[in-house]
Structure 1
Amino acid sequence: MANGGILFLWCSSRLVRTPSFLLIMSLALADLLMMLKLPIFLIGIWCQGPCLGLFGCEMYGVVSVISGMAAIWSLTAIVVERAWVISFSKLGVISKLKWYTAIEVVLLIWISAIVVSVLPLAGWNRYVYEGYLVSCSIDMYSNNFIDKSYVWLLVFVGWVGPNILIFYCSYAIVRANRRNNTLMMELMAVGGDTAQNFQKQRILEERRLWRVSSMMLTVWMGSWTPYTVVVLFNATGYIHLINPHIGMLPAVFCKTSAAVNPFIYGFCLPKIKGEALKLLKRYRSTRPSPENSSRFPNSSPARTPRPSIIHMISINNRHASTSC
């Protein structure tokens, strides 16, 4: 629902149609695509087993890889773009993301995700049921070298590479903010209550930035690390420790991240939050209030009552007496 709200906000508000918000919309679209599989997931649990067949499992796996890779790379692009803007803005360089750059990045993300998802259909690994046999993913338990090579490809392009970029960019954002705070405190080092209040405000902002960065990294690591752990267990020969209960956790965690991401990377931003509140206020203003509806339950326009028969007879007698 929150991902749909991000897409609706893009279509209804012109103020949020920026290149930076295009990356957030790409993340919301990937998460929405991932959440659309939830009814099939729940139907499989209700049926207590596979209910899709071979073709359905392959389509489920293709959508899973497309949505997963697109979400990971869109999230990485968002963090890199924010670090780029913050780091270069401190140096006085024009670092605003251009429209053509954002469009090229989004197209590259989705085309690459589609290409990677089609490779198992061409024979490089395959899609199989996982966990409780209610969802499908790539075969991470195979000992074949070709199948393992595809799994390690996904580990490097979907976990190792994005992890390096996200951790480095988060560190760059915090470092740039601390450098700016130190510079401002040196300029305000004249003493007095104003300088002390400014220093306390900067310290609170830095702590808030640390909390937000820590929350983003925790959600990121908790969402996609379980798949990597399963791959490492298979590579080290401890795959027998992965029972169906543990094997089901990666699919649950990645779907949880799809529900949380729009709040962390979308509605937490003041501009997007403000536009969402404006739309809600506009919707409430056009909706009739319950007080008026309860006070005037029959709010239909008043109708002229039809004259009764007795009233018509009295009118005729009155006309007859006057004529006489």
Structure 2
Amino acid sequence: MLQLASGSSLLAIAVDRFLRVRIPVTYKSTVTQKRSWMVVAICWFTAALLSFIPMFGWHNYNTWNGTTQANSTSFECRFFTASSRSYVVNFIFFGFFLPLLAVMTGLYCYIFLTTRRQLRLNIGAATESHTYYQKEQRLAASLVLVLGLFVVCWLPLFLMQTIKLYGPKIEVSSLFVHIGVLLSHVNLAVNPIVYAFRIPKIKEEFKKLYMRVYHDGQQH
């Protein structure tokens, strides 16, 4: 669910950046705080809905019915023990991850092409429009970095599971699978750090949150 929510949020951010460039004049009246909260709620609701599908039947039957028992002394990674590989590959990878990636790539390509064209038209002019598009281009570059990390951390795992599903005769080392699982989990932990370092507003909010928690701790 966290992975799906992360992907949905990245798409929502990409759409937000697209609207900033596409409709700069009416952006503030279109993207209101109420609508933003609605989008956040939709992202999490969609993630929960899609991630709970295995609980309604699309899972490894033997595992869910107790046939496969976990060894309490074993350190074997059991990330895919209960989840059906066909669900992970066909539904999550082909039906969610790849379309999401394609849409976001298209949106960011539009953003970079538009901002570059606008900056070229206003080259050498210290206008408000020039500053606006320059800022949007820098912010888009930071968000593309976040998107790149998302792809790098999740794509290896999805590709290995696709090979195991459609190429059963091809051997995939369990070590590589474990590294892929680790990368996918690391991505969720790294994202807030990348956001904080690359995006000034988020960095400022993190500082405020830290100071608030620090002062509350001092008072107690």
Counterpart-to-counterpart distance in 2, 1:123 and 1:252: 26
Deviations 1:160-181 (A, max 9, x none): 1110121112112212221221
Q: Decide whether the 8 Å contact of 2:59 with 2:84 is kept in 1.
A: yes
Match of 1:133 among 76, 86, 95: 76
AA of the residue aligned to 2:4: M
- 2:117 aligns with 179
- 2:89 aligns with 151
Secondary structure of 1:240 counterpart: coil
Counterpart-to-counterpart distance in 2, 1:111 and 1:239: 38
Q: Percent identity?
A: 22
Superposition CA RMSD, Å: 3.6
AA of the residue aligned to 1:118: F
Secondary structure of 1:242 counterpart: coil
Secondary structure of 2:79 counterpart: strand
Deviations 1:247-272 (A, max 9, x none): 11221111111122113334532223
- 1:212 aligns with 142
AA of the residue aligned to 1:228: F
Counterpart-to-counterpart distance in 2, 1:78 and 1:229: 26
Counterpart-to-counterpart distance in 1, 2:202 and 2:58: 42
The structure 1 segments of at least 4 consecutive aligned residues displaced by more than 6 Å after TM superposition are 204-207, 281-288
TM-aligned CA deviation for residue 219 of structure 1: 0.4
AA of the residue aligned to 2:100: P
- 2:66 aligns with none
TM-aligned CA deviation for residue 149 of structure 1: 5.8
Q: Decide whether the 8 Å contact of 1:219 with 1:257 is kept in 2.
A: yes
Q: Decide whether the 8 Å contact of 1:124 with 1:150 is kept in 2.
A: no
Larger radius of gyration: 1
Q: Decide whether the 8 Å contact of 1:227 with 1:250 is kept in 2.
A: yes
- 1:242 aligns with 172
Unaligned runs of 5+ in 2: 64-69
Secondary structure of 2:176 counterpart: helix
Q: Decide whether the 8 Å contact of 1:80 with 1:165 is kept in 2.
A: no
Counterpart-to-counterpart distance in 1, 2:53 and 2:40: 21
Is 1:84 the counterpart of 2:19 in the alignment? Answer: yes
State the aligned residue count.
201
Counterpart-to-counterpart distance in 1, 2:108 and 2:190: 19
Given the two structures, how large is their TM-score scaled by the length of structure 1?
0.51
